[in-house]
Structure 1
Amino acid sequence: MKIKQVRNATLRVEFGGSRFLIDPYLGEKDAYPGFEGTVNDHIRNPRVELVTPMSEILDVDAVIVTHTHDDHWDEAAIRLVPKDMPLYAQHDEDAALFREQGFTDVRLLADDTRFNDVTIIKTPGQHGSNEALAAIPEILGQVCGMVFRHPEEKNLYVAGDTVWNDHVVANLDHYQPDVIVLNAGDAQVPGLGSIIMGTEDTKRVYDAAPKATLIASHLETVNHSVLTRAELQAFSEEQGMTDRLLISEDNESYVF
């Protein structure tokens, strides 16, 4: 497999002979206001330009959107992704939205989704603590991750926008992934804490999956992600995690 960190949670994944674009966030730097009610909401998003050429980003066989928050599926993605591209949604509500936006080949992720020779398994996650979800359920909403499987590939788990919780524990235990992508930028909502993983949650995954390589994604792109690459690197060195934790730069690729 080849995994390219594009920007934020946007990944380009080559796996089992197919190419996937995950959570396209394709707007130009400063195109959108900050997320209202989150930390640093005075800062515009995205905070950095795309480095990967758009021609490469869109040179894929299918697109997967884990949820439709604006930093995973933005106005630019709606405009730029070809309308006939296979587009996978986590549930019927998102699928209906994609069809309203003009997409003609909308599909649902399931427990056993097949795309060519690749099996994609939708996995649950939780976009914040129980308290956060109870306080602003309509904002945080439902999210998912996914596991990719192929007979000639290692197992890949893309956790999505989740904090450490029983869902993640069960996913790690059941699927035994060899490679794990974590959204680890520690996005924050004042009074409700982290709504994606930060340093401590990354360490929990590192400890729970002792044979897996971890890739930290969703860093330094949106206003409310407060954990920097340098801070995560320092934590990794302090905790002895550098052997299996990769902290991705935009446009950086890994082959496994």
Structure 2
Amino acid sequence: MRIQFLRNATLLIEWNNKRILVDPMLGAKDSLDTVPNAANTIRNPMTELPMDESALKSLLASLDAILVTHRHRDHWDVTAQAILPKGLPVFCQPEDKVAIIEQGFTYVIPVKQSVNWEHLDITRTGGQHGTGEIGKMMAPVSGFILKDGQRTLYIAGDTIWCEEVAVAMDTFRPDYVVVNAGAAQFLQGDPITMTTADVITTIQHPAQSKVVAVHMGAINHCFLSREALREAVAAAGHTAIIPEQGEWINA
């Protein structure tokens, strides 16, 4: 298994000769409006993908499946909806099935609990995309466990550290957990994705999973940078994988 971090929460997973694209945000830099009610008005994404148009076309042609944790536009943008092959399997939370079918995709697989695909078990987990009323408005969101009997990968999705994440780690003891950091925040309320403290709590969890932190540097309401997170994790005496765009992680 290996994982390429592309941008924000977009990952390419290569596993047992299959290629799965996770949370595709494929539009050009500045192609999306700013996230409103944030402390700046920068357009999104704030960076380009780490590949040119030809390489992106080759990537799309090589895919075997798509995994969408939820349909917020920084995880499933209009460009992805337009250019992804419509016949690929799309794994999603049940609440998103109808909308994805209406966008033209013909092989949509809602994961209520768990499904098996190409000798890979895919199990949906819960999460909290913020606290209080904001968390309720941002719901529903999901994480996903992928395992093949030898290795287990946990894609936590857009969630803060919460009971649902702890239960998933206790239950599945993943080898790797990908967390969406960035400490995304509106002008009101608490952060809606993992903060530095949340990432460190994940690292310290007894499951002893290797933590991969993404979801930084691409969206205007994410204020925690990769550099600041690296420094904080090191200062706490821990290690985490905090990849740059385009970087491969060999698991």
TM-score normalised by the chain length of structure 2: 0.95
Equivalent in the alignment of 1:150: 148
Counterpart amino acid of residue 64 in structure 2? D
Distance 2:17 2:123 in 1: 17
Cα contact 1:109–1:122 (8 A) shared by 2:
yes
Distance 1:55 1:27 in 2: 13
Identity among equivalent pairs (%): 36
> How many Å apart are 1:99 and its aligned residue?
1.1
What value does the CA root-mean-square deviation take over the aligned residues? 1.3
Aligned mate of 2:249, from 226, 248, 254: 254
* Residue of structure 1 equivalent to 2:14: 14
**Contact 2:169/2:207 (8 A) holds in 1:** no
In the superposition, relative to structure 1, how do residues 3 and 209 fare at CA in structure 2: closer, same or farther (>3 Å)?
farther
Partner Cα distance (1:115, 1:56) in 2: 23
Match of 2:219 among 214, 219, 222: 222
Does the 8 Å contact 1:18/1:118 carry over to 2?
Answer: no
Matched, 1:63 2:66: yes
Q: Which amino acid aligns with 2:92?
A: A
Report matched runs for 1:93-112 at 5 Å: 93-112=95-114
Partner of 1:43: 42
- Given the alignment, which residue of 72, 76, 89 partners 1:86? 89
Q: Aligned residue for 1:3?
A: 3
Q: Number of residues paired by the alignment?
A: 247
Give the C-alpha shift of residue 133 in structure 1.
2.2
Per-residue CA shift, 1:157-198, capped at 9, x if unaligned?
Answer: 010000011101101111111101010111111221200001
Shift of 1:222: 0.4
| SS of the residue 1:14 aligns to | strand
Aligned-residue offset at 1:17: 3.3
* CA–CA distance in structure 1, aligned partners of residues 96 and 202 of structure 2: 28
Q: What is the CA distance between 1:32 and its match in structure 2?
A: 1.2
Which blocks of at least 5 consecutive residues in structure 1 are unaligned?
Answer: none
Q: Which amino acid aligns with 1:196?
A: T
Q: What SS does the aligned partner of 1:33 have?
A: coil
Deviates more, 1:191-200 or 1:30-39: 30-39
Are the equivalent residues in 2 in contact too, given 1:145–1:158 (CA < 8 A)? yes
User: Would you say the 8 A contact 1:5–1:248 is kept in 2?
Assistant: yes
Displacement of 1:126: 0.9
1:180 corresponds in structure 2 to 177
Off by >6 Å, runs of 4+ in structure 1:
none
Letter in 2 for 1:249: E
Deviations along 1:73-121, whole A, 9 cap, x unmatched? 0010011101111111201x31111111111111112322111110011
